[in-house]
Structure 1
Amino acid sequence: MKALHSRYTAEGHDTRYPLILSQRTTAPEHDTPLLFQEFCLGLSDDQSRIVLRRYFEQYGPSQAQWVEYVHSIPTADLIHWIMTHGQLHIECSDNTPPLSPPTTARA
């Protein structure tokens, strides 16, 4: 059995997609094609964008095909979204004095 898109195999995995979120292979029945699915999260080459890749490969004795969906967002936009919408948890050392909330300057 040969993978069509070798960057998703153990030997050819591209280092630009370092975090595998999900990976699975299913074989529905004996004579049906195998289905391989992988979801990866990484950075663009210049690190300006977060990239989510969804890769699907179906292969069997008589057919083989693959498709990849690539979603991306500017890194700064995702960081801003997380800071705005994410759940904040603060940890600090025992001897850290409490910080007062930032104040806005008045004209």
Structure 2
Amino acid sequence: MNVLEVNKKDFESCNSDHPLHNLTRGAGRDVVPLNVTCNYYFISGKGICYGGMKLAVHVANPPPPPTTASLNEKSGSSSSILKCQYVLPTVFAIGALWDAFVWFW
């Protein structure tokens, strides 16, 4: 197998005649740096692309860091988690007491 970076037109037609880059190193050591925001198109040559061995990757900028307002909203959700930690055991305890009460009578 080989890993070829091609343009969009060659990607769509599985044309490996004029790759932009040949990223094949062999023995599964094919490494592709995706450090530029753009669309990347990779195919495998020698007709294997026609069998589905192709991949399109869209690299986007990372999302902006969260603001302090969204951090405060998240801290509110942690209080609801804490409530669940107390409510569920209480419900189970009440259920166990009820069960014991019913068996006693």
- Give the TM-score normalised by the residue count of structure 1: 0.26
The structure in which a higher percent of residues are helix is: 2
Q: Using CA pairs below 8 Å that are at least 6 residues apart, which structure has the higher relative contact order?
A: 2
Please tell me whether Structure 1 or Structure 2 has the larger radius of gyration of its CA atoms. 2
- Give the TM-score normalised by the residue count of structure 2: 0.26
